[in-house]
Structure 1
Amino acid sequence: MKQLCALFLLLMFAVSNAQNIKYNYLNTPLLEVIKEIEKTYDLSFSYASDLIQNKTITLNVSQIELSELLIILEAQTGLTFDQLSDKQIIVAPKQGDNKICGYVLDAITRIPIPYATIGTDENTGVITDLNGFFTINKTNSNRFTATSLGYEAKEFTGSKTCMQIYLSQGTESLEAVIISGYITNGIDRNKDGSIVIDTKRLGILPGLLNADIAQSMQLIPGISTLDESATGIQIRGGSPDQNLILYDNIKLYNTGHFYGMFSLFNPFATEKAAIFRSGTSASYGDRISGIIDISSGEEIPKKTNGGFELDGLAVNGFVKMPLSDKTALYVFARRSYPDVWKTPTYTSYADKIFTNFGVARDINGNVLELETDDDFNRESSNNDFSFADVNAKVVIKPNEKNTLSVSGLFSRNRLDFNFMGGDELLIDSLITKNKGLSFEWKHRTSEKQQEKLTVYFSEYNSFYQNNEIKDETGDDIPELAEINIRQNDIVDIGANFSLTRNLTNTQRITAGYQVSYTNLDVIIRKINPLENSIEDSGQSDTNFKNALFGEYTLSFKNDAFLNAGVRLVHYNSVDRFLVEPRINFEYPLNDRFRVKTAIERRNQPISQLIEFNHTELRLENNLWRLSDDNQYPLLSSNQISGGILYNHKNLNIDIDAYYKELEGLTTFTNGFSNPLENLEEGESTIKGLDVLLKYKWHNYKIWAGYTFNDITFSFPNLQGNEEFPGNNDITHAFRISNTLKVDNWQFSLGWQIRSGKPVTPVNRYVIEIDADGENAGVVDFGPINSDRLPAFHRLDASILYDFNIKKLRAQLGVSVLNLYNRVKPINVIYKAERKPLDDGGIAIPGTTGSTPEELEVILEQVIQRFSLGLTPNVSFKIFF
């Protein structure tokens, strides 16, 4: 027994002594560390004195083997420590032709990180070894990104000697990139299913000359527009107003210039955008379709940099400057100039926007001779248009634990438009404005926990006025006969707080609270100066939102991903408490195949409605309305999606199927083209399939996307229980794109084709006499959306050339949209109302009669939207 006790005490003594052996260095010169190791282990190091000069070590560990200690020294210095014998170690540099090397280490512990990924902007990469070491071929840009599970990604530039890349443990690391270059350079796919567009790395795209977020995302299957605009974004069958769009945490209600043809987002001011088609986090709410979360960045530049761009529509510039080593200022500004000089680019867009009437026919091909339609186009009208936007941001990083930013935006659109419609002069004026301000504070309490607080203010203003000047008395003196006013104002103020904690490197929990207040005003006014009468309709509504959300994220060791969350929200405009569960799961079958599924329920308390068709306005007639659970119901959706993802070497294949149920739709819903203006409520079902194939061969990339949609509407009071195609039911959509880079040249060519939009046909159209003794076109419509417009297709091309002007980097670009100039109608809108006919009914031989005072459907206007014709553009950029 005594011998056992003695042995136990001896072991405890040995362990105690081993635990007391510590290596505690803080930026200690390597020479001092070597001397201490030589003394401790009775070793001899051989090295050149200039080799270890300026090398330092930071380390705090207890009881470590010599071999492990040498690995850490290699990782922190970029040198090799080769142990030739028990008594001798040689220190030497690491070198390689056309390669760079380095070590990836934990920023806090300075311990090497094995199996980290080093990626390039050319969609290639390598994995670090057990010692955190890597070598990788140099690239033209010499830019790389280091990522590892449980850490924040870090970009770095290659150097001639081995370097140390320190990664910080982050709360966003579980959403690591799964596929770099998912479609092309700068469009990546994250593990959570979101698509990230990085404008710094974004390559050339067909028909585009800059990194426009709204246009770039339309390359993603399931995302498209029906009108070729940058703002009519439809994500998996949802209308544009069903997308939540954030810019630096500012909620936006208008995202376009020039009637949505151009994005509100200055390409220089959009560094990254995360796009969710499904599987959204519980932190996002208030919309039932896609999420578009845009950031202008938060980097502190080492020196002032900026740029300038001139293209066929606007001048654009930006500057990013460090105010100190911890503070930066960003400023972005853009203004159009067609009000000064109308270029061919502007003319092409103006032809599309201001040409609204073509030859309308019935189902048998007979031309509709409309009695009251006003035929106008760009040549027969006068228009002055301008837009401007300004963005600014201040970023402050006082220390490693805190990041603060203040971001602001302002945009303005103005149009003055007039034309002669028969014997009257019609004058339109439209002004839209966006204002926004946000504050964000990110605080890292510890290595495992981070808090985030954001406060935002958003304001949207739209004012439209239509004046009708005509001779009402017959004395050849035109007078102001009618004034129509449409005004829509929104003020949205909110705050969000979230706390994220990493339980382990693979597990995370997030909880948060959101509060917002929305005030919405609608004014619709009709003034008759001759009769001194005013008709007013409109209202002022408010909504106060409280929301709690929480989610659990698990990233398995085999790279599987699970996110489960719930959102609890109360909207006082409908006085309802709502529960929104979310789940998103991906699982790798092997190193090439991943299966995925997502289920979610979402609600939307605000939407855009069309309720101003009785005026002369033909351009924008959408008004935002808050839900009241009565006339304007709450929108709700249930969604489920699933698919398979293949990624190997240079080939990506992504197949995703989805099913959505939407409730709370009305005949005033954005995009609904029912000929009559009666308000009815209905629902929709969306079935879809998205397919992407992408292949890369050296500097050549080709990708193809296909989307199948089956969108049906059900409105019992319109067509009984019979379902009919939704207004945005584009059954088939296909797009193929190519890009090629040769030295300083970039080339891109893309072609797209899709099914025509559903329309309601005219079965019969005759001219009769109404109760006022005027000719009236009586119409008999066929089943809703039972016909389709011609298929839409277009070929686009772009060329970019990079060069230097002295020490400045420059780029010249040329693009053409719709190379073969195919112009076809892409939408048809009927304006009709019920009116009584005159006694006797028959006014024109061959037409049908009617009973006295019988109400008939009178067709007053057929508004047609046409596709964009051949549209050239040229841009010149210069950067400093």
Structure 2
Amino acid sequence: MQVKIPLLFAALLLCSILGYAQQKITVTYSQTPLKEVITDIESKTSILFSYAPEIIASKKITLEKQEITIDELLPQLASQSRLVFEKVSSQQVIISVPRIVCGYVFDEESKEPIPFSFVSINNDQSTETDEKGYFSFENVDSDINNLKVVFNGYDDKTISLKIGDPCQEIYLNPLGDTLDEVVVLGYVTSGIDRNKDGSILLDSKKLGILPGLVSPDIAQSIQLIPGVSTLDESATGIQIRGGSPDQNLILYDNIKLFNTGYFYGMFSMFNPFATQKATVFRSGTSASYGDRISGIIDISSGDAIPKKTEGGFEVDGLSVNGYAKVPLSEKTAVYAFARRSYADILETPTYNSYEDKIFTNFGVARDINGNVLELETDDDFSPETSNTDFSFADFGTKLIIKPNAKNDISVSGLYTRNRLDFDFTGDGEEFVVDSLITQNKGLSLSWKHTASEKQQTKAVFYFSEYNSFYQNDEIKDETGDGVLDLAEINIRKNDIIDVGLKLSSISRIKEDQKLTLGYELSYTDLDVIISSENPIDAELERSVQDDNNLKNAIFGEYTYNFKNSGIINGGLRFVHYSSLDQFLLEPRINFEYPIGDRFRFKTAIERRNQPISQLVEFNHTELRLENELWRLSDNEQFPLLSSNQISGGILYHFKNLNIDVDAYYKELDGLTTFTNGFSNPLENLEEGESTIKGLDVLLKYRWNNYKIWAGYTFNDITFQFPNLQDTPFKFSGNNDITHSFRISNTLQLEKWQFSLGWQFRSGKPVTPVNSYEIMIDADGENAGVVNFGAVNSDRLPDFHRLDASILYDFSIKSGTKKLKSQIGLSFLNIYNRVKPLDLIYKAERKPLDDGGIAIPGTDGSSPEELEVILEQVIQRFSLGFTPNAVFRIYF
């Protein structure tokens, strides 16, 4: 009994304390000093407050609440006073100053705030400045010894801050040679800005999370820009304002690239660690760029000498990746990047999803009336009947030397290799093997000399080599004796060597005027081998091309910067191509002018030429793997590509809102029937032209840590091929995607980042099948006679997809250091909608049987008539549900 009484007393006491702690009180304060508020609360509850008198001296509270608990009241007091109210027990609250460091970032010369600059502390946490240049970090563990501020066009700055100090003003110095000022920060999202000359600048350091991605991939990020898209979801089949991928000039550290993807282009060749910045031109291209008629993508791995060794490592669902940036001295540094896939060792769900997309190239084919085409296919792909062996690797390095303030020297090297082997068994009487190897090798040397504030000279030398080898072997039971024989060997080989030198001189005539003069010399040697061999019948077809082109070009450009941040840029490029023996003029003009504080009017006009392009070879491959070959123009069989372009629009920018509307018109000459690849086979190489009408619209809004942007593109691409028989004078282009829309959202909550995006686009034009009949060919075998409809008069189903990503930042302690780390998940095509993105007919002309024998239902074609026999319908499908994951660590 004596034991039970103390226990009962303790239980009653505990219940009374808990009940009192949850007691509800009524408070009414109007600009009441915080000290009086504390006294009032203490009189109404058993809570005691501990604090230093000076931290609450100037704080006042305005609050009116009835029946409110202490747990509900404390957060409201903290919000109004900007102090920390920490409840350490049921009866005690400690009031303290938040552990915060803060500051404002300004331009050193204009003293104006710099919004959206990138701020990081100890490589552990990061944020952006707001519209007033303000930033803050709360609940930091200790004083900050390494706070770094980065913004494009300015020198980086590193300072120290102490907890509790007043917000410090930080001034950044503009770079002396920054001529392309950023006029819209966060044009699409963080890390994608718009320059005054209309180009778009991507900075991988500042790129935030993007829908469906776990790494800040440059090639995928570019596709967020209106007017930039792909037809096949690939990372590298980038179309810029209606141009085909081979019409884009892509440079990596001044090295010209002819292939930028792995695994049928689905993965970008650009290592996320090795691509610091990219400048993208959709129009208004500088006269210093040539040889392509569509977009420009100029990528740099960076040029800064770090103060200490930096590095990182990541592994995702496809590859492992690492890098290091090592300062050898205050004036010298070396970068190294390496990445390799591991699908040949371990197949993940990510890889399996891409594998299904690439090698599933058959499906139900129908004619224009919806009737199923009864076709035999040798592409019965399934995991049980096929094998794939895929791997890629890339290596990059860069040496940076800055011997003094006037000279910058860099040497870059790049090597990439992509290998893909695929084999499958058809009906037990056939075995097919496909093998593809592509590789890039490159080297560049760059020297920039700044003689004075008004004079700068640049010299760039580069070497680029591209190799592609594709072999298709068909092994069949030709005699029916159960023995498989090598029946056919198809080979495609493409080798390119491109060497060039570019010299340029930049003179500032006055503070607001600039004159650029330059000379460019390059030599291109290109080899193509196409062969088809039938070992059984001892037949061999072989086509070999060995061409070269010497280019000499001079260019000049004058830029005038208006005082109100407007710009006019006029340029002229004069070039001679030896393969064409022609002198060509390429005039260009770009004009932007602000209308008030919020609007900018813009227009650009240019003419450009392209002496090299990709042709699709239909009759020499099974079309399972990449089927494009580079060819030099000769103005005979392969014409020079030329374009005239004009664009114009209005840009609205105010605080957190961007609205950009841009219309454009293009005329392209020199297209061929093999340039882009028609869905139906065409016997002859015919020349044609194209017109492109388009409209790009961007809407972006930022509210605190939430961002939303929507982009829409309208395209009307028309082809004209006068010599094509049974073809309308004008018809939809092969890459005519009439409507394209994308909307994306991102949200950052402390260490978490979330992104959700949805995209939609019209289906690709295809040629329909009007009729399909089974007849007997000259060999006595069944043959499907096909009658095609008008070229590109039908379309595939519309494409749409929902994607999402999640990233979480954290730190890993290693001794006395904290290593910044990140884990993430991404999901492509969340609702798993799989539709055909492309359709290709494999057919050839054959004679019918002499007797005209036909399966019932045929029209009894004449004996001598050659009919189009449809052998196969190849379909490319969209990606199904595809998860991916990443773990990343920095040191």
Q: Identify the match of residue 246 of structure 1 among 223, 247, 251.
A: 251
Amino acid paired to 1:432: T
What residue number does 1:794 align with?
801
Unaligned 5+ residue runs, structure 2? 1-98, 119-126, 139-145, 162-166
- The percentage of counterpart residues that share the same residue type is 70
Cα distance, 1:139 vs. partner?
A: 6.1
What is the Cα deviation at residue 124 of structure 1? 5.2
From 829, 848, 873, give the equivalent of 2:884: 873
- Counterpart of 1:437 in 2: which secondary structure? strand
2:156 maps to which residue?
Answer: 155
Q: Tell me the alpha carbon deviations over residues 631-675 of structure 1, each in whole angstroms, 9 at most, x when there is no partner.
A: 100000000000000000110000000000000000100343343
Question: Contact conserved, 1:456 with 1:494, CA < 8 A, in 2?
Answer: yes
Aligned residue among 611, 634, 640 for 1:634: 640
Question: Is 2:630 the partner of 1:624?
Answer: yes
What SS class does the counterpart of residue 241 from structure 1 fall into? helix
| Aligned partner of 2:770 among 763, 776, 782 | 763
2:761 is aligned, of 750, 754, 758, to: 754
Equivalent of residue 482 in structure 1, options 483, 488, 493:
488
Which residue of 420, 425, 438 maps to 2:431? 425
Question: What is the CA–CA distance in structure 1 between the aligned matches of 2:799 and 2:384, rounded to whole Å?
Answer: 25
Q: Does structure 1 residue 603 correspond to structure 2 residue 609?
A: yes
Task: Flag the 1:743–1:771 CA change in 2: closer, same or farther, 3 A.
Answer: same
Distance 2:472 2:313 in 1: 37
> Following the alignment from structure 2 to structure 1, what is the Cα–Cα distance between the partners of residues 376 and 768?
19
Q: Is the 8 A contact 2:853 2:860 kept in 1?
A: yes
1:231 aligns with 2:241: no
The match for 1:286 is 291
Distance 1:686 1:104, change over 3 A: closer
Task: Assess if the C-alpha contact under 8 Å between 1:371 and 1:777 holds in 2.
Answer: no
Aligned counterpart, 1:549: 555
1:686 aligns with 692
Secondary structure, in 3 states, of the residue corresponding to 1:203?
coil
CA distance in structure 2 between the partners assigned to 1:722 and 1:731 by the alignment? 20
The aligned runs of 1:292-311 (5 Å cut-off) are 292-311=297-316
Deviations 1:144-200 (A, max 9, x none): 4568xxxx52232454496775736633x3310001101111010000101111000
* Correspondent of 1:270 among 275, 284, 300: 275
Q: Give the equivalent residue in structure 1 for 2:320.
A: 315
TM-superposed deviation, 1:248: 0.1
Q: Which residue of 1 aligns with 2:95?
A: none
Does residue 200 of structure 1 match 2:205? Answer: yes
* In 1: Cα distance, 2:148 partner to 2:384 partner: 51
Contact conserved, 2:531 with 2:620, CA < 8 A, in 1? Answer: no
1:120 paired residue number: 117
Deviations 1:766-790 (A, max 9, x none): 0111122221110111111111111
Picking from 220, 225, 237, the partner of 2:225 is 220
* CA displacement at 1:819 relative to structure 2: 0.2
Tell me, in whole angstroms, the C-alpha distance in 1 between the residues paired with 2:836 and 2:728: 30
Q: How does 1:648-797 map to 2 (within 5 A)?
A: 648-718=654-724, 719=726, 722-797=729-804
Letter in 2 for 1:776: A
Q: 1:295-351: per-residue Cα shift (whole Å, max 9, x none)? A: 000110111110000100000000110111111111100000111111000000000
Q: Does the Cα contact within 8 Å between 1:583 and 1:598 map onto a contact in 2?
A: yes
Deviations 1:798-833 (A, max 9, x none): 000000011111000000000000000111011122
- Counterpart CA distance in 2 for 1:779 and 1:625 is 31
Go from structure 1 to structure 2 and tell me whether the alpha carbon gap of 1:704 and 1:372 turns closer, same or farther (over 3 Å shift): closer
Q: Given the alignment, which residue of 828, 838, 854 partners 1:827?
A: 838
Q: Secondary structure at the match of 1:352?
A: helix
Residue pair 1:747, 1:800 contacting (<8 A) in 2 also: yes
Amino acid at match of 1:797: A
Report the secondary structure of 2:452's partner residue. coil
Q: Distance in 2 between matches of 1:352 and 1:850?
A: 39
1:173-212 to structure 2, matched below 5 A, reads 173-212=178-217
Structure 1 match to 2:516: 510
Q: 1:245 to 1:102 in 2, by over 3 A?
A: closer
Structure 1 residue 115, shift from structure 2 partner: 5.1
Q: Give 1:531's match in structure 2, choosing from 519, 532, 537.
A: 537
* C-alpha distance in structure 2 between counterparts of 1:405 and 1:155, whole Å: 20
Which residue pairs with 1:80 in the alignment?
A: none
Report which stretch shifted further, 814-823 or 477-486.
477-486
What is the CA deviation profile of residues 419-462 of structure 1, one whole-angstrom value per residue up to 9, with x for unaligned ones?
12332111111111110000000110111111110000000001
Matched, 1:381 2:386: yes
Instruction: Work out the CA distance in 1 between the residues paired with 2:341 and 2:322.
Output: 12
State whether residues 116 and 146 of structure 1, in contact with CA within 8 Å, keep that contact through their aligned partners in structure 2: no
Secondary structure at the aligned position of 1:716 is classed as: coil
SS in 2 for 1:216: helix
Matched residue of 1:554: which SS?
Answer: strand
Aligned partners of 2:134 and 2:481: how far apart in 1? 85
- Distance of 2:382 and 2:843 partners within structure 1: 22
Q: Distance in 1 between matches of 2:666 and 2:228?
A: 15
Match of 1:440 among 435, 446, 459: 446
1:816 aligns with 2:801: no
Asked if the contact 1:308–1:316 (Cα under 8 Å) also holds between the matched residues in 2, the reply is yes
Is 1:100–2:103 an aligned residue pair? yes
CA contact (8 A) 1:676 1:833 kept: no
The 1:367–1:701 alpha-carbon spacing in structure 2 relative to 1, beyond 3 Å, is same
Write the distance in 2 (CA, Å) between the matches of 1:452 and 1:691: 36
Distance 1:499 1:370 in 2: 63
Structure 2 residue identity aligned to 1:356 = N
Using structure 2 for the length normalisation, give the TM-score.
0.84
**1:377 offset after TM fit, Å?**
4.4
What one-letter code is carried by the residue in structure 2 that aligns with 1:788? R
Assess if the C-alpha contact under 8 Å between 1:592 and 1:647 holds in 2: yes
Aligned to 1:368: 373
- The 4+ residue runs of structure 1 with deviation greater than 6 A are none
Pick from 458, 461, 464 the counterpart of residue 464 of structure 2.
458
Query: CA contact under 8 A between 2:154 and 2:175: conserved in structure 1?
Result: no
C-alpha separation between the residues in 2 aligned to 1:321 and 1:632? 48
* Residue 86 of structure 2: aligned partner: none
Equivalent position amino acid for 1:120 in 2: S
Q: Cα gap change, 1:746/1:575 in structure 2, threshold over 3 Å: closer, same or farther? A: same
* Equivalence for 1:856: 867
Cα distance, 1:465 vs structure 2? 1.1
The equivalent residue for 1:469 is 475
Residue identity opposite 1:878 in structure 2: I
- Equivalent position SS for 2:156: strand
Q: Which residue identity lines up with residue 210 of structure 1 in the other structure?
A: S
Q: Which residue, 337, 347, 350 being the options, matches 1:342? A: 347
Cα gap change, 1:295 to 1:855, in 2 (>3 Å): same
Label 1:103 to 1:265 Cα distance change in 2 as closer, same or farther (>3 A): closer
Equivalent pairs counted in the alignment come to 767
